[in-house]
Structure 1
Amino acid sequence: MPPRSVPSERQKRLGAELRRMRNDAGESTDYAARLLGLDRAKISNMEAGVRAVTPERVRTLATNYGCNDEQYVEALVAMAKPRPKDWWETYRGQLPAGLLDITEMEWHASAVRAGAFLHAPGLLQTDGYVRAVGSAALPPLSEHEIELRVAMRMQRQQVLHRPTPISYTAYIHEAALRIEFGGMKVMRAQLHHLCEMSELRNVEVRVVPFSSGAFPGAGQALMYATGVVPQLDTVQLDSAHGPGFTHAPAQLDKYRAQLDWMQTVSFDPGKSRDFILTLANA
């Protein structure tokens, strides 16, 4: 298969897992190359996500690396299988690749926990709110790109409504509920929407009040996506330069602990809904 010019985060993740599996087995890239009848450079590209790997080769590598975790291997095999063009691919080349990577991560997760400090969580935003956030960007975004972002954000939210929806927990700091993106009318609609979404059985919204005091981390938005197996958990972090992704065990532990802290200090779902509704009706 020809190399990819820009691999997606999911493709890079598959390669990283194959590299981790090889390292755990104490094997070299030369060993993997001989095993598959490839040169060493192709193995390096495969482990970087630049070159595709077939499901059959994933099984061959797993067997010869002595990986006996059948669920983990099958999850990697599923990642390697060719897929029809996913809906978010229609935005490739029109929006930053990182936005597509977030969408793909959410789509394949079994559960997502989100921590938001300054904005409403992406999967719970209204179109007016998305438009207001996009309009505040620097350097300014064109009207066309803002509308593309609105359309994609709305489509992203189908993971909450599809026949097998993800389980979604949003921890929202009080600050994010009081910053009026788009003005009072847009923000009031956003607050009412949060209340409506919190009524879904697969969605839990919890407010972290100002009274909780100091908080861990730098205050950037984060998402913890639970994979189909624990080895495929992923954290996504927002930054001014675009989304970042990490799956190092120490980092996963760190951000799980941060979300656990938010769980501890937040209002329960009922009190959170009442709190948001009070703000919306103020």
Structure 2
Amino acid sequence: MKKFFKILFFIILLSILILWLAKIFLLTHKYQVKYYNEDKIEKDIVITFNGIYGYEKQLRFIDEKLAEDGYTVVNIQYPSVNENIAEMTEKYIAPNIEEQVKRLEQVNLERKAKNLPELKINFVVHSMGTCLLRYYLKENKLASLGKVVLITPPSHGSQLSDNPIADLIPYFIGPAVKDMKTNKDSFVNQLGNPDYPCYILIADSSNNFLFSLFIKGEDDGMVPLATAGLEGASLKTIKNTTHTSILEKQETVDEILQFLKN
């Protein structure tokens, strides 16, 4: 019996060590902001940011294509495992939006003097990042808000967050996971529907068999497809893509550019 408990104790310690190393080296990414076309704002600004455990490189293909089209792009890479959604929004997202709002106000004053049309701030955000943005826009009204693109959003939560493990090890996977439960009283289900031009792009394939076991119906490896939509938002499926591969598909970029221009 003593040997059994020793083995069990060792397994528990090993599991904790693995989780700790995963948090440090795989799930945590430092806070940084990357700019494209920052010095010469001649077209709308587009702010982009990642989802849970995400990082700048995942959105680089989209960012670079938007920049090539003339947009000023601001990518916010934020740590996603230390705070809940509201705290991350206030700490990392809000200050950057407010900075761009001030910059754009000055640019628009100069454009008005030249009889040029006013520029706007648009958003292209991924996964849990859509929840941060929806929370920010619920709490703040932006006079300069243009259009919003939500990519693979857990609009009404994901059954992955309903799993009991999310309540048992929040330190390792992040407290924000609990914000994305599917029950009607969860944080994400209190964010409401968009009152701004909004376009939702979803994937249709999963490359994570284990995660898909916990999600009801079709999924993209992280979120259920049936509940990705929001009232008042258009929605399109990008075929043969997963939760993250959708970010590197030319069709995704084409849809974003067309939505921003129309």
Q: Which bracket does the TM-score occupy, shorter chain normalised? A: 0.3 to 0.5
Structure 1 or 2: larger helix share?
Answer: 1
Higher strand fraction (1 or 2):
2
Question: TM-score normalised to the size of structure 2?
Answer: 0.36
Compare CA radii of gyration and give the structure with the larger one.
1
